[in-house]
């Protein structure tokens, strides 16, 4: 069986990730101790119906399949840019489903997001409170390292890995990480990500300082209540995660950041692709659905529209029972241009 492509855009999940060739020498990682991938049976309950539906119905173009495989082979992040509603976020769920990468780790970016947020969170106040509580119980003590068994005042008891930190754990198979809307971040975040994504590792200073007394800490990972081992405060991946960074194209990124990514630019789908999207979500499009597709495409040239606006209009056309004239008026209201300035009310 040929190695390329590993990701095919097919509907059926498979273990193709296991036949991914070794990474380039400059992208090889050796983190440990090696962790088993998340249990697939438990994954189903961890995925919301909305995300599961998007994963199943995603329609990958040939260009998407090619560049997803390039990112997988090269162990590089995939930067996906394009207008809203073109399936940028859904791509991560579709790839994770087909290749059985487990639940997608998701980091939603805001203007206040920092690299630290994605790596881990530490609550020193809750640790201080736990230490005081332990010190007040007869027969128990709390030392400076907070390693007294069961006292709950250890550093590891108040530290949780974020989505990026969890993705960089030394899993035997890559995890899928979605960093959504990176263009909304502070100007420094893309540059701050460079070293972590290049080296595939990071340190947790709170655990490094306690490494002499606590060489191996058990910490909580993102998206689960299970603990994972971290040795001497250092997290280093073994299989580089499949990282999808999405952008609506609202800003430019530093050349050094772009050089470390595989870039996929999504365009508005054509009529054949739109019909396939409608078919995947709502079944075979009828004559009125095809009319709405034609209207959608005729309007795209004058402004930005999202595919889910079209899906909303077709769903209501199929389920509302409204007459054609009413449907046309409703469809017009459901497909306004994105980013259009609101019009003043007429008096």
CA–CA separation, 123 and 267 (whole Å): 43
pLDDT in tens, 188-218: 999 999 999 999 999 999 999 888 888 999 9
How many residues make up the chain in this entry?
347
- pLDDT higher at 148 or 176: 176
Question: pLDDT tens, 270-327?
Answer: 889 899 999 989 999 999 999 999 999 888 877 888 898 999 999 998 888 888 788 8
pTM summary value? 0.86
CA distance 171 to 237: 7
Tokens of 315: 């769903």
Q: Where are the domains of the chain?
A: 16-265, 271-334
* Res 342 pLDDT > 60: no
Q: Cis omega (within 30 of 0) on the bond before 186?
A: no
Tokens standing for residue 54: 């998007």
- Quick one: tokens of 244? 């999808």
pLDDT in tens, 117-168: 999 998 767 667 666 766 655 554 444 444 444 445 588 888 999 999 999 9
CATH class of 16-265: alpha beta
């Amino acid at each position: 069986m040929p190695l390329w492509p590993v990701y095919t855009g097919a509907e059926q999940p498979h273990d193709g990730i296991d036949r991914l060739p070794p990474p380039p020498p400059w992208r090889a990682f050796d983190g440990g101790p090696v962790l088993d991938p998340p249990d697939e049976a438990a994954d189903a309950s961890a995925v919301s119906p909305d995300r599961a539906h998007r994963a199943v119905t995603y329609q990958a173009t040939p260009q998407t399949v090619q560049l997803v495989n390039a990112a997988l082979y090269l162990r590089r992040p995939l930067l996906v840019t394009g207008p809203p509603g073109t399936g940028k976020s859904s791509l991560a769920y579709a790839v994770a489903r087909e290749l059985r990468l487990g639940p997608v780790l998701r980091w939603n970016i805001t203007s206040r997001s920092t690299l630290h947020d994605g790596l881990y969170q530490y609550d020193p106040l809750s640790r201080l409170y736990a230490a005081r509580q332990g010190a007040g119980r007869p027969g128990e003590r709390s030392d400076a390292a907070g390693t007294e068994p069961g006292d709950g005042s250890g550093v590891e008891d108040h530290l949780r890995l974020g989505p990026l930190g969890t993705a960089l754990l030394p899993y035997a198979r890559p995890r899928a990480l979605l960093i959504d809307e990176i263009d909304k971040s502070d100007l420094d975040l893309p540059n701050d990500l460079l070293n972590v994504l290049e080296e595939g590792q990071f340190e947790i200073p709170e655990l490094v300082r306690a490494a002499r007394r606590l060489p191996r800490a058990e910490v909580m990972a993102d998206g689960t209540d299970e603990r994972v081992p971290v040795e001497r405060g250092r997290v280093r991946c073994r299989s580089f995660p499949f990282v999808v960074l999405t952008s609506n194209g609202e800003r430019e990124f530093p050349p050094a950041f772009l050089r470390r990514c595989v870039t996929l630019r999504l365009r508005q789908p054509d009529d054949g692709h739109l019909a396939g999207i409608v078919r995947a979500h709502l079944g075979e499009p009828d004559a009125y659905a095809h009319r709405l597709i034609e209207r959608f495409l005729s309007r795209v040239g004058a402004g930005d529209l999202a595919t889910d606006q079209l899906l909303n209009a077709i769903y209501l056309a199929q389920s509302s029972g409204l007459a054609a004239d009413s449907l046309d008026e409703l469809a017009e209201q459901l497909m306004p241009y994105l980013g259009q300035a609101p019009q003043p009310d007429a008096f």
